[in-house]
Amino acid sequence: MDSEALGKYSALHPKPAGLSLQYGTAGFRSKAEQLDHVVFRMGLLAALRSKALAATIGIMVTASHNPEEDNGVKLVDPLGEMLHPSWEEYATQLANAEEQELQKVVTEICQKAAVDLHKDASVFIGRDTRPSSKKLSQSVIDGIQVLGGQYHDYGLVTTPQLHFMVCCQNTQGQYGKATLEGYYEKLSKAFMELIKQSHCSGECQRHLKIDCANGIGALKLSEMKPYFPQEVLLHIYNDGTKEKLNHLCGADFVKVHQKPPGGLDMKPNERCCSFDGDADRIVYYYKDTAGHFHLIDGDKIATLISIFLKELLAKVKQNFKMAVVQTAYANGNSTRYLQETLKVPVHCVKTGVKHLHHKAQEFDVGVYFEANGHGTVLFSKAAETKIRQLVKEEKDNEKREAAKMLENMIDLINQTVGDAVSDMLVIEAILALKGLTVQQWDALYADLPNRLLKVQVADRRVIDTTDAERRALTPPGLQEKIDALVKKYKLSRAFVRPSGTEDVVRIYAEADTQENADALAHEVSLAVFHLAGGKGAPPQP
């Protein structure tokens, strides 16, 4: 390691005094002006990780659905998955090291993780459309180069596209070509193969209005348009030419406020969807003839995909194990529908994509979505190999056709991470093949009314949970209080969990009516305030 170069470059990316950040599920996120030293050091870390694994690592500059003035950075592991938890700790240590300790921390990481600094390093870089992203990705390059690493800067890409390309690179092209064209070709080919099978009567045009959150999704969808057949008409709104990123639009805004985004004019019964700022989440919605807004969130997306896959799996008659993975935030009626009507096993895990992804890997077909619209489907190696073999060798027509559809689904789904573009195409293909309208999809089950609240506390660590965050272990007496409150309402449940990023406690409640869900959420928030050290004034109803 050239300590002189490290010192020189580090001085160009100084750490603000007293700033301390934590690498979480979404990597680092903060105000953009506080991040220069962090992204430089993540360039260093990406080079170290690459040397340790002898593989290409990805680094994405984005803050997803956060306001435009924020930014962030996260690393992507070789198969397009999130950074390994043991290295999250190194990331935090490196980001928070004072200037004079930087070299020592790098040396310690090399010792702990058995990194040979003489090995080659290769890093793929991507960024979103924030004004601060270009300069920050230049700082990433400085970090990679100090340690003698090679890099490829893809410039403006969606987060899932970077994950995809890292996976392609490290599978020697088995997963696809590590270029944007490779991504567009793989997805569009699988999509066209699927919708060829749909028997539409007369009007074959498929219109969809897409709110792109004034982010990267708009640019990349426009690039992809030439790859689609004429009958697929994508109408892009909030394309970033007029308004600010994520301002009053995007998947997070629509899900949280339960209302349509600005900048998109909805007519009754039109299919609409929203991406988030870096295009790794999607939610659908429509207005009925009475003007009521209907949100179709991640739970309903998982349900639609599960129905379709279950039918195909039944036709190929292999003993594949399929399951749906949810978090405690999944609507109770979605869980009921999946288990009781569809007869699909459902598993609940802690909040956070890495927990869902990890659990989904245990099955031949693992469907996972968070209610916020982030999710995908994972196919085991064995299942994928068997399906591709059936396509080539199966004599029985029905079995072979079903296997062919499954093969196209495998190619259309971005298995590395939730991907708004890929998920949108999966949904559009299923609706076309099943001849479903957005209303019929929505009517599969009615969501139980629910309410999300948060309470500020002095220290979020006073709350400890168990049973996939559905029950509170501490502080004493809180869970008993919640149990008593839940008993007052029909079809009700409630849970509390500490935020991963700030000193707030998040509260979720559902019940038979909106009024009851609101009342239960409020009563639980008061219990949290009094038993868990609430700050400021007690919550008001």
Residue 18 has pLDDT above 60, yes or no: yes
- pLDDT-derived band at 202 (thresholds 50, 70, 90) equals very low
Is there a single domain that holds both residue 322 and residue 399?
yes
- Give the total number of structural domains in the chain: 4
Looking at residue 337, what is its pLDDT? Answer: 97
Domain closes at, from 122, 141, 156: 156
User: What is the reported pLDDT for 484?
Assistant: 97
Q: State how far the Cα of 298 lies from the Cα of 255, in Å rounded to an integer.
A: 10
432 in a domain, yes or no?
no
Same domain, 147 and 216: no
If you average pLDDT over residues 293-312, what whole number do you get? 97
Picking from 340, 336, 348, the residue whose alpha carbon sits closest to that of residue 448 is 336
CA angle at 161 for the pair 295 and 326, rounded to the nearest 5°: 40
Would 164 be classed as within a structural domain?
no
Does residue 29 fall inside a structural domain? yes
Rounded Cα distance between 465 and 233, Å, is: 46
pLDDT reported for residue 92: 96
> What does 503-514 look like in DSSP terms, one character per residue?
SEEEEEEE-SSH
458-491 pLDDT, tens per residue?
A: 998 999 999 999 999 999 999 999 999 999 999 9
Q: Per residue in 486-512, pLDDT tens?
A: 999 999 999 999 987 678 999 999 999
Distance, CA of 22 to CA of 536 (rounded, Å): 25
The answer to whether 64 is a known catalytic residue is: yes
Mark whether 67 and 19 lie in a shared domain: yes
Report the alpha-carbon distance of residue 503 to residue 521 in Å, rounded. 19
- The strand pairing partners of 294, in sequence order, are 286
Regarding whether 497 and 468 lie in a shared domain, the answer is: yes
CB of 279 closer than 8 Å to CB of 215? yes
Averaged pLDDT for residues 62-89: 95
Residue 441 lies in a domain: no
- 130: its two tokens: 């924030």
Query: Do residues 50 and 133 share a domain?
Result: yes
Task: Write out pLDDT tens, residues 345-368.
Answer: 999 999 988 899 999 999 999 999
Please identify, among 365, 398, 416, the residue that sits at the C-terminal boundary of a domain. 416
Maximum mean pLDDT: which of 24-33, 192-201, 304-313: 304-313
**Which residue in 523, 507, 540, 528 sits closest to 459, CA to CA?**
528
N-terminal to C-terminal alpha carbon distance within the chain: 59
Is the predicted pLDDT of residue 224 greater than 90, yes or no? yes
Percentage of the residues of the chain whose pLDDT score is greater than 70? 99
Residues 289 and 302 grouped into a single domain: no
Residue of 10, 50, 64, 133 with catalytic role? 64
Taking each helix axis from N to C end, the angle separating 216-224 and 180-195, rounded to the nearest 10 degrees, works out to 60
Summarize the confidence of residues 302-306 as an average pLDDT. 98
For residue 466, give both structure tokens.
Answer: 């168990």
Binning pLDDT at 50, 70 and 90, where does residue 201 land? very low
pLDDT of 203 > 60? The answer is no
Rounded average pLDDT over 319-330: 96
CB 21 within 8 A of CB 95: yes
Which whole number is the average pLDDT over 443-456? 94
CA dist., res. 3 & res. 8, Å (int): 8
Give the residue numbers spanning the domain of 506.
450-532
Do 103 and 189 lie in one domain? The reply is no
The reply to whether 253 and 221 lie within a common domain is yes
Average pLDDT in the 315-333 region? 96
Instruction: Look up residue 501 and give its DSSP letter.
Output: S
Only one residue has tokens 């009567």, namely 201
What is the CATH number for 513? 3.30.310.50
Instruction: Identify whether 150 is part of a domain.
Output: yes
Residue 243 in any domain: the answer is yes
Mean pLDDT of 29-47: 96
313 and 284 co-located in one domain: no
Q: Is there a contact between 385 and 333 (Cβ–Cβ < 8 Å)?
A: no
CATH number at residue 398: 3.40.120.10
pLDDT value of residue 200: 62
**pLDDT averaged over every residue in the chain:** 95
List CB contacts of 446: < 8 A, sequence separation 6 or more. Answer: 333
Give the domain-ending residue among 367, 390, 416: 416
146 plus 8 within the same structural domain: yes
Closest CA to 275 of 372, 200, 342, 178: 372
The binding site consists of 64, 276, 278, 280, 370-372, 497-501, 506
Long-range contacts of 13-21 (CB under 8 A, 24+ apart): 13/37, 13/39, 13/40, 13/41, 13/139, 13/142, 14/99, 15/97, 15/98, 15/99, 19/96, 20/96, 21/92, 21/95, 21/96
Residues 63 and 142 in one domain: yes
Tens of pLDDT, residue by residue over 256-270, are 888 999 999 999 999
The answer to whether residue 480 is domain-embedded is yes
pLDDT at res. 2:
82
CA torsion 223→226→228→232, rounded to 10°?
A: 90
pLDDT band at 300 (very low <50, low <70, confident <90, very high): very high
Q: Which parts of 232-297 fold into alpha helices (H)?
A: 251-257
CATH number for the domain that contains residue 231 = 3.40.120
Query: Are the CB atoms for 123 and 46 separated by under 8 Å?
Result: yes
Pair 467, 514 in one domain: yes
Q: Distance between CA atoms of 356 and 298, rounded to whole angstroms? A: 13
The answer to whether residue 90 sits within a structural domain is: yes
Tell me the binding residues for substrate.
370-372, 497-501, 506
